[in-house]
Structure 1
Amino acid sequence: MVNDTTRLLGLAGLAVVRVEDAVHDGPVVHLVTADEQACICPGCGVRARRVKGWVTTSPRDLPVAGRPVELRWCKRRWHCDQQGCDRKTFTEAIGEIPARARVTTRLRQAAGAAVADGGRTIVQAARDHGLSWPVVSAAFTAHATAVLPDKPQPVAVLGIDEIRRGRPQWTWNDEQQCWEITVDRWHVGFVDLAGGQGLLGQVEGRTSVAVRDWLTQWDEAWRQGVRVVAIDMCTVFKAAARAALPQARLVVDHFHLVQLANQALTEVRRRVTLQVRGRLFGGVEDEHLWVGLRR
């Protein structure tokens, strides 16, 4: 049953029976099961002997030779006649296409690798692979979980900063008679600034407890290796770093220092312009005036 078209497709456990020209972009590839283990009941592990019927599915897959393909897998539904088995019937499944899967395993892996190794965003990878955002997000999480270590390597210079994501969500607490936040719009990220590990982790909520809990989850040796902690001028991060990393030196990162300097410069510029011209800074003439004042 193994032919050249089956080898070209490269889906282990499936065989190509024919290929039809499609009305749309790519061809339609008709498949049948070529794995003898597919008829083994997933509940009891006994090989089924009685066919109940046939089912045709259309899982999405990677392009072949640069062309998108439409798969049509005609597979059998089996009866499990073993007494005591909860699975009375089951449908054939293979490693590349598990039960109830609408996307092949290699397509999921390619989408996750595009985000992790290709530098694409989840939105870009979803668009390029024809998948939804949740599917690509889960694929990226699975890819990162498989390749990342259980804990980060030793870090000498740790960076802590927050990022805003979407909108917060609230629910009403009947016992306390108040609104409680269930999804925080602020997330805190931890970055290796001196090494090559990049983003080490991210927690939801911009609170001292959330930051301290992330830091204290690592052992004492890892925490003692942190010599410098770079933060913005946030008392939340300062309190958490002092509690979890008392030996580390706290510094303010360059970005926020430059940002504050620019804000102070803008305030002085506006005040001097108002004093000299009687109006706020704006326009070409005021721009020339400000250049003269700076000199």
Structure 2
Amino acid sequence: MVNDTTLLLDLDGVSVIRVERCEDGGRRVHLATADASARACPACGVFASRVKGSATTRPRDLPYGERGLEFVWHKRRWWCREPACPRKSFTEQIPQIPAGARLTGRLRSAAGGRIRDAGSTVIQAARDLHLSWPTVMDAFKAASRQVLEAPLPEVEVLGIDETRRGRPRWEKHPDSGKWQLTRDRWHTGFVDAHGCGGLLGQIEGRTVADVLAWLSTTPLTWRNSIRHVAIDMSATYRAAIRTGLPHATVVVDHFHIVQLANKMLSLVRRRTAAELRGRRGRATDPEWKARRRLLRNREDLTDEQFAKMWNPLLDEGKIGQTLLTAWIAKE
């Protein structure tokens, strides 16, 4: 039967021998190996039967309470009696604490998970878990590989957009002497725009070749499941989709459509004022007073706001009629 202290610790493969209070107020937990498979030789897998000696390690685990726990693991060193095995002796190990490990597996997983899943920084996770920055960074890399190596979820609507990251870097070619771009400031992100898959991938660059290179790394069955691709009004991304996903329907996202329509409306306003008034707009002009409301949707305008925009422009003649026609087209 497992004692209550061992159940409270909940660390598979070891049992609690005793717990003692340290001089600084902390608690020291003495552990013994409780997993019979720890006697298996890591080289040949044969169970050892002859004890060579004993060893003591102090692995670190997740914090418990305000001061945490100090582990002392009393384990044995075994002789491997298999003649063909190159390993003559070995110490006990369990999945949570491999041989030579100073941290338990769940402590490493918790450190990497705080950054990968909880959005914590490396330095903050190191402070919270009392670990060094390189240790936490290595744990984060291991946790990230689990996500990167996992199969992509099925996606029906793929979103592609660009992101600016840092500054570009140029280096001179040693042979030709020409400057060449070695780090692009633009990255391309691929997201699940309709489901819950989140960020699927991110690559450096935003050319047709960059997008096709990423698509070529995905399975054909995954690409065939994509029905729509949402992009901004980028001819580059559209050309890449036509080549890499010819069966998918290209969809321009709503934000960029509205943005382009509002840009054209502002262009019509400035151009019409310049042609008919022979100057730039002024604060006293009705079209200048209505410039903010012209960029808003009808459902976002109250009846009073709509009347303040519509009536003065309607009475302004050709300038107002042109702007109202453009506004109706935008809507």
Whichever residue aligns with residue 18 of structure 2, its letter is R
Q: Distance in 1 between matches of 2:268 and 2:23?
A: 67
Distance 1:52 1:180, change over 3 A: farther
Q: Percent identity?
A: 48
TM-score (norm 2): 0.64
Checking the alignment, whether the CA contact within 8 Å between 2:155 and 2:192 is kept in structure 1 is: no
Kindly indicate whether residue 134 of structure 2 is the aligned counterpart of residue 134 of structure 1. no
Map of 2:214 onto structure 1: 214
Checking the alignment, whether the CA contact within 8 Å between 1:229 and 1:249 is kept in structure 2 is: yes
Checking the alignment, whether the CA contact within 8 Å between 2:114 and 2:125 is kept in structure 1 is: no
Q: Deviations over 1:51-108 (max 9, x none)?
A: 255232222x234478733323233344545444333443321011123333322334
Checking the alignment, whether the CA contact within 8 Å between 1:122 and 1:133 is kept in structure 2 is: no
Q: Distance in 2 between matches of 1:175 and 1:88?
A: 54
Checking the alignment, whether the CA contact within 8 Å between 2:19 and 2:28 is kept in structure 1 is: yes
Q: Distance in 2 between matches of 1:20 and 1:262?
A: 72
Distance 1:153 1:13, change over 3 A: same
| Residue 161 of structure 1, CA deviation | 1.5
Unaligned runs of 5+ in 1: 278-285
Structure showing greater Rg? 2
TM-score (norm 1): 0.70
Checking the alignment, whether the CA contact within 8 Å between 2:229 and 2:249 is kept in structure 1 is: yes
Q: Deviations over 1:124-171 (max 9, x none)?
A: 8835555523313422542x468x5x343251x211123345566777
Q: Deviations over 1:185-230 (max 9, x none)?
A: 5443222222333333333443322321332444555434433211
**What root-mean-square deviation, in Å, do the aligned CA atoms of Structure 1 and Structure 2 show?**
4.2
Map of 1:152 onto structure 2: 153
Map of 2:322 onto structure 1: none
Map of 1:282 onto structure 2: none
Question: Which deviates further from its counterpart, 263-272 or 65-74?
Answer: 263-272
Unaligned runs of 5+ in 2: 274-278, 292-308, 310-331
Q: Distance in 2 between matches of 1:129 and 1:265?
A: 55
Count of equivalent residues? 277
Q: Deviations over 1:104-133 (max 9, x none)?
A: 2233444556667xx521528835555523
Question: Which deviates further from its counterpart, 228-237 or 7-16?
Answer: 228-237
**Is the partner of 1:16 in helix, strand or coil?**
strand
Kindly indicate whether residue 289 of structure 2 is the aligned counterpart of residue 292 of structure 1. yes
